[in-house]
Amino acid sequence: MAKDGKNGNAAEQPAAGHRNYNERRWMTPSKRAKGYAKDRKERVHTYGPKEGQELTEYENGIRSGYLLAQSDHAGIYKYKKALSEGKTVEEARAISRKKG
C-alpha cells in the first residue's frame, strides 16, 4: 500500500457528496419506530383507526422526527457507555456508529 493513501480501496474513500453506507448513522429503532418506518415507506397508515388512509405531510413529518430522535438516542447511549468504560473520544464515536 502506498503512503500517499492511494491504495485503490473505494470503501475507505467515499466519493465526494456520497454517504458511506458501511458506517451507519445512529440507529436502533424501537417497536413504534419500526411501525413509523413502515408507514413512511408505504405512505399510508398501516395500523390503528386510520389504517389504509394516506399519510398527510404533517403525519409524515412527525414520523421523520420520531425516527431521528430514536437514532440520536441510541448513538448517544453507546457513545456515553464507551466513554464511561475508558475509551477515547475517537473510539467512542466509532463504537456508536458501528453496525450490529
In tens digits, the chain (100 residues) has pLDDT values of 444 444 444 444 555 677 666 665 655 456 777 888 899 899 999 989 999 999 999 999 998 888 777 766 777 888 889 999 999 999 998 888 876 5
pTM of full prediction above 0.75: no
Span between the terminal Cα atoms of the chain, in Å: 29
